[in-house]
Amino acid sequence: PDRLDGLKALVTGGASGIGLATARLLAARGADVAVLDLDPSGARAPLHGIKADVSDETSVREGVGAAVERLGGLDILVNNAGIGAAGTVEDNDDAQWHRVLDVNVLGMVRTTRAALPHLRRSAHAAVVNTCSIAATAGLPQRALYSASKGAVLSLTLAMAADHVREGVRVNCVNPGTADTPWVGRLLDAADDPEAERAALNARQPMGRLVSAEEVAAAIAYLASPAAASVTGTALAVDGGMQGL
């Protein structure tokens, strides 16, 4: 039941990090997979890379349309594209709030809106949103990012309730700090990236970061027929940080 043969999947932000690991795993399990990304060059065959910006309604509509045309339908949507923001409420201005909420929250709304007519025709329809332990953990210096992921968690529960009778399941994963190019960029910006990485690892309960592949495995489970009775839930993959 964890095989995905014959299923058609779309992963946003699927050209890097958690999204790329997810797209590759879904394909390895037999799905035909399209990736929507600002820069799809990281998503190589057999993945179908499509350039699109989840913060732009027209771009999303065209991108989802192109994916459905190439795949011949849609069963699985992974809403994964997201951006970070550091700081307290005093550090980010309104423009930054609008930008991050536009990508992290409205990006999922737009993509799901465009995908739902196709998902309703599937016998195995599943949406998986990439949330974060930031939704519930009360992390310092992450006011805007946490608020955006809190909205993703609530959106996941509401969408699950709205679409359960249409046969569309909606769940989310809550990664802890995951070893992706995103975190790599943050470490590279430090004075001593190696020391910073060691300190970051030491702060994790397991002494190491979560891998992108471990998060992908949780997403693939929630997307698979094995999870046919699972909807409206958040699966933490956080190495014991216990954000929930």
Judged by CB under 6 A, which of 26, 114, 137, 178 binds ligand NAD? 178
Please give the Cα distance from 167 to 145 (Å, whole number): 31
Return the number of other C-beta atoms located less than 10 Å from residue 92's C-beta: 17
Applying the rule CB under 6 A, the residues between 62 and 91 that interact with ligand NAD are 80-83
How many residues bind ligand NAD, per CB under 6 A? 28
Name the catalytic one among 145, 168, 172, 175: 145
Number of H helices, E strands in the chain: 9, 9
Q: How distant, in Å, are the alpha carbons of 92, 180, 197, 212 from that of 190?
A: 21, 16, 9, 22
Q: Which of 10, 54, 151, 223 binds ligand NAD (CB under 6 A)?
A: 54
Query: Is residue 145 flagged as an active site residue?
Result: yes
Q: Which of 113/122 has CB closer to ligand NAD?
A: 113
Binding mask 97-116 toward ligand NAD (x if CB under 6 A, else -) reads ------x---x---------
Q: From CA 51, how far away is CA 194, in angstroms rounded?
A: 34
d(CA 226, CA 3): 9
The C-alpha atoms of residue 151 and residue 137 are separated, in whole angstroms, by: 14
Least distance between ligand NAD and beta carbon 8 (Å) = 19
Q: Taking the complex as a whole, how short is the minimal distance between the CB of residue 95 and ligand NAD, in angstroms? A: 16
Determine if 15 is a binding residue for ligand NAD (CB under 6 A).
Answer: yes
> Of 179, 145, 234, nearest to 21 (Cα)?
179
Tokens in use for 41? 């060059």
243 binding ligand NAD? (CB under 6 A): no
Residues 222 and 227: their CA atoms lie apart, in Å, by: 5
Separation of alpha carbons 155 and 132, rounded Å: 13
Counted residue by residue, the chain has a size of 244
Binder among 10, 22, 31, 37 for ligand NAD (CB under 6 A): 37
Residues 123-142 that bind ligand NAD (CB under 6 A): 130, 132
Q: Which of residues 144-173 bind ligand NAD (CB under 6 A)?
A: none
Nearer Cβ to ligand NAD (153/183): 183
Q: Cβ closer to ligand NAD: 36 or 71?
A: 36
Would you name the residues annotated as active-site residues? Answer: 145
Positions that interact with ligand NAD (CB under 6 A): 12-13, 15-19, 37-39, 53-55, 80-83, 103, 107, 130, 132, 175, 177-178, 180-183
